[in-house]
Amino acid sequence: MRWQSWQLAHWGVACGILVWEKLVKKLLNAGSLDANEVRRGEEMFHKEAAVLDAHLAAREYLVNDALTIADFAVASFLEYAQPAAMPVAKYPNIGRWYQRVAALDAWRNTAPKM
């Protein structure tokens, strides 16, 4: 529950700003990129990514090294990391964890097609 709440209050907000500004706005023709919002999103992303990366440094998954719904909730925005230009590469533990989640049949079979 803790990680799902963190995703809603922190991670989802940071990632959501970047997804909106760098991906969804283009798809919906909803205006031009707001550089101030992108900066705010990137600052928030780095703050929250540091928390997540540190937590994952000694773990395979978020809770007790077992796959839980929290992993799916937190990983969900990372499906859009590349098109939204999220600076994930700076956080190797997040990258390794996301690769584990994304390799699951349950993830691959339901991931949106870009």
- pTM (two decimals): 0.91
Q: How confident is the model at residue 99 (pLDDT cuts 50, 70, 90)?
A: very high
Mean pLDDT in residue range 37-41: 96
Q: How confident is the model at residue 114 (pLDDT cuts 50, 70, 90)?
A: low
CB 61, CB 107: distance < 8 Å: no
Domains of the chain, with CATH numbers?
A: 2-108 (1.20.1050.10)
Q: Is 114 helix (H, G, I), strand (E, B) or coil?
A: coil
Residue percentage of the chain with pLDDT more than 70? 99
